[in-house]
A and B are shown apart, each in its own frame.
Chain A
């Protein structure tokens, strides 16, 4: 009996703590909130921008969630978020919102550093991904991203890939693609990742004779690139969101873009 009372008491205490915790959390709901959703390709960059901005303006809280470019556009259209993110330009049927470019991203075709191939053409890449045709007799297999990924959308659009050969792995994260390529010491597998994510564990191939680099994307000679846009209703922006967008486009914001390996719009 005593024990029962004890347990009831402790349960009550736990509940009370939980309650106050929740109440306290609700109470401290001050400051301004900015919500953003959309492309998971833009998301890491947006999170860093948001982090820097929050550091400068401690009263602002920014929530960045994923969902993909399509979700970014529809959320912006429905006013569910302050603005959406898309790693592509607006389609014709996506009306009522505008796209505002904040950065440019290159897509790198990556292989293991042991791989002897240095340059590929569009036709070679297309044949590899569609029919498993070996590139220069060396690269015999490829990895794709999952359906819905912004990187995959852009890659398939730029290379004009319409189908994938049977049994191609579809990986749901950049990190895993990179790890897979880095582990492929035979150097016979190709994948694609954002140029900003390339590091020494993988080798980025030249495309149509042009080295994959920030400069070449900027001067428009490296053709595998796409725009990072934010999507919003022209007259629907809150002051807080407007200020944040101004920050993104400012020199300070664009410095983060450059530091992360993306290409600035300035």
Chain B
């Protein structure tokens, strides 16, 4: 009944300017749909081109021989990646177990135990941990941890599983911790209060009620962590040791799928290169499986609360169980202390990384190194400023309209929960889970070879568009969904069309989300190395245009770290320091910005909030009367 009336109202409304409004609105809608579908296209393009380039190798070797053979001998064109697959899996499992454990305790600490004054700073610190470029982690592990471990454990070489696991665990903490934190916060407060009312201590409540209730969120967080760990490239590349063998010991040099690509891609050509791309395809299969798993976990989220609840009631039934509960209290007290220790460890890890790089790097920074003319034999960072700037501007200029358009479609046009929206979401999530090395391979194949752009800044910027798109879509969509419907209705009621409503009324309200997305994207681009090396190149020269090569800060740091440039270790530290400073600035910018807007929103609450509430109640009564008719 209600639906019918709205339809009729719409008809009435559009009768006047039927022709004009119809075309314009529909064209716009079409454009938004196209933008939303872009993510699907991007994922398919990545899968297609990487597979396409891998086929010659699968033909020559056979797909299963490629996967299940242990010999990797490019000189004789024998390709088998089983040792790398095993290494990737073992490394991922170890890191996710350790990193996941640390992350869950970190999240518990943040949500339940962190003193109020510390909470904001601590959350900020965990975010910062996520912002540090992986190349910096790699350098930190190589320069500080590796010699340390060699000393402590008295081993032949520090390379291998142990070193990589330690660094990788720390790297995935922020990913897992932030999602665990969100799902802990989403557990209904009644659970907490109810548990306390039943006489449980706070520690018992946290570890036996709240944590199990957030179980599904934690599983999702772990899966995301797995995706992150499998795809990590630059950090582990410097820590694994590079030998093609099975991880039979903690301190044996090994090679993962990702490090196999980075280690040899620059040198390779012909079938060897295609074998490396095929390695990337195997990695892509892993990532797609992980994403599907994540999708299923998320899909089942809705029932989580209920199943948990029934289970709990059953458990409390017998008297012995009650005794058990009391006895376990000590365990939870230990866990409580443990969460403090973990939280302190995470903070210490962050501070160590930052201080180490800054102390080693800052003394090597000079005005000349930052802004002087860069040339052969005397490399400076001046071109990196320009290159990074250009890549940021171009990729944002493309990704912002695309991402905002897609978000507008998802939030303003699409029926919530329709199949198309679900598919688009799945693909956006998939795109955001693709590791940067695969973006690099795709960029090198598609922009570099197919479009014949070779190495150039433009190819790098295009590749970055794909990388930052999911962030922009999600962040924008989130803030669009927070705009109250009453504002849209008011605008429509005043006679504005849908397009006008979106651009004049809704979008300005979503601005905070968009700006946060921009800053996050800039951070992502600044820290990126794997995807840019194979698209924009590693040049340290001032770019002469969009079609010339250019290296960003992270790429130059990689360059300083690799082959033959032995005197450039101080330069690597200095570049690392610049990166850390940039990341710090961006992180502070995000938090300042968010506080600013939150304060504004809080102030609005008083006036407009009350108005909105009144409108809402009125609408409800209207609906009720409508229904009664």
Contacts and interface: CB of A to CB of B under 8 A. Distances in A.
Interface stretch (B43-51, B196-204, B560-568, B613-621): B560-568
A62 interface: yes
B267 A25 contact: no
B156 to A, nearest CB: 5
B150 A3 contact: no
B142 A176 contact: yes
A7 B376 contact: no
B268 to A, nearest CB: 7
Contacts of A68: 266-268
B349 interface: no
A64 B376 contact: yes
Interface stretch (A49-57, A96-104, A119-127): A49-57
A47 interface: yes
A259 to B, nearest CB: 12
Max chain B Cβ within 10 angstroms of own Cβ: one of A147, A167, A168: A167
Contacts of B511: 3-4, 7
Nearest to B151: A183
Nearest to A41: B564
Nearest to A17: B393
A43 B375 CA distance: 14
A23 to B, nearest CB: 9
A30 to B, nearest CB: 9
Contact of B389 (A18, A143, A197): A18
A169 B508 contact: no
Nearest to A188: B156
B266 A66 contact: yes
B263 interface: yes
A22 B253 contact: no
A44 interface: yes
A65 B539 contact: yes
Interface residues of B, number: 62
B159 A169 contact: yes
A57 B252 CA distance: 50
A43 B564 contact: yes
Contacts of B237: 172
A66 B559 CA distance: 10
Nearest to A256: B377
Interface in A141-163: 141, 143, 146-149
Interface string A188-209: 0100001001000000000000
Contact of A25 (B156, B397, B543): B543
A111 to B, nearest CB: 14
B180 to A, nearest CB: 34
A66 B562 CA distance: 11
A74 B242 contact: no
B375 A54 contact: yes
Q: Is the interface of B mostly helix, strand, loop or mixed?
A: loop
A3 B508 contact: yes
Nearest to B143: A179
B114 interface: no
A47 B511 CA distance: 47
A62 B539 CA distance: 11
A196 to B, nearest CB: 9
Interface stretch (B215-223, B281-289, B494-502, B544-552): B544-552
A187 to B, nearest CB: 13
A65 B538 contact: yes
B435 interface: no
Contacts of A7: 511, 515
A131 to B, nearest CB: 15
Max chain A Cβ within 10 angstroms of own Cβ: one of B249, B254, B544, B568: B544
B374 to A, nearest CB: 10
A240 interface: no
B563 A40 contact: yes
A14 B393 contact: yes
Interface string A59-99: 00111111110110010000010000000000000000000
A1 interface: yes
B267 A67 contact: yes
Given A63-B539, A148-B267, A168-B243, A173 B561 contact: yes
B569 A169 contact: no
A136 B549 CA distance: 50
Contact of A146 (B248, B264, B389, B568): B264
Max chain A Cβ within 10 angstroms of own Cβ: one of B156, B252, B394: B156
Contacts of B454: 80
Interface string A13-28: 0110011011001101
A170 interface: yes
A172 B377 contact: no
A158 B241 CA distance: 24
A63 B541 contact: yes
Given A61-B541, A172-B263, A178 B376 contact: no
Interface string B145-158: 00100100000110
A189 B539 CA distance: 35
B393 A197 contact: no
Contact of A67 (B238, B266, B562): B266
B537 interface: yes
Given A18-B390, A67-B267, A167-B252, A26 B561 contact: no
Given A48-B377, A167-B253, A146 B242 contact: yes
Max chain A Cβ within 10 angstroms of own Cβ: one of B267, B538, B542: B267
Given A66-B266, A147-B74, A26 B545 contact: yes
B269 interface: yes
Nearest to B569: A175
A226 to B, nearest CB: 15
B552 to A, nearest CB: 15
Contacts of A220: none
B245 interface: yes
Contacts of B243: 164, 166-170
A199 to B, nearest CB: 8
Contacts of B242: 146, 169-172
Contact of B241 (A22, A25, A170, A174): A170
Contacts of A3: 508, 511
Max chain A Cβ within 10 angstroms of own Cβ: one of B375, B455, B537, B563: B563
Given A18-B393, A48-B377, A65-B539, A175 B565 contact: yes
A52 B249 CA distance: 48
A65 B537 contact: yes
A43 B263 CA distance: 17
Interface in A217-255: none
Nearest to B254: A167
Given A47-B376, A71-B267, A40 B564 contact: yes
Contact of A170 (B74, B253, B266): B253
Contact of A48 (B249, B268, B376, B389): B376
A155 B263 CA distance: 19
A117 B403 CA distance: 64
Interface of A: 1, 3-4, 7, 14-15, 18-19, 21-22, 25-26, 28-29, 40-41, 43-44, 47-52, 54-55, 61-68, 70-71, 74, 80, 141, 143, 146-149, 164, 166-176, 178, 180, 183, 189, 194, 197
Interface of B: 74-75, 142, 147, 150, 156-157, 159, 237-238, 241-245, 248-249, 252-255, 263-264, 266-269, 375-378, 386, 389-390, 393-394, 397, 454-455, 504, 507-508, 511, 515, 537-539, 541-546, 549, 561-566, 568-569
20 contacts: A21-B386, A22-B545, A25-B544, A26-B546, A29-B545, A48-B377, A54-B375, A55-B375, A63-B549, A147-B264, A147-B267, A148-B266, A166-B243, A166-B245, A167-B243, A171-B241, A172-B562, A175-B561, A175-B566, A175-B568
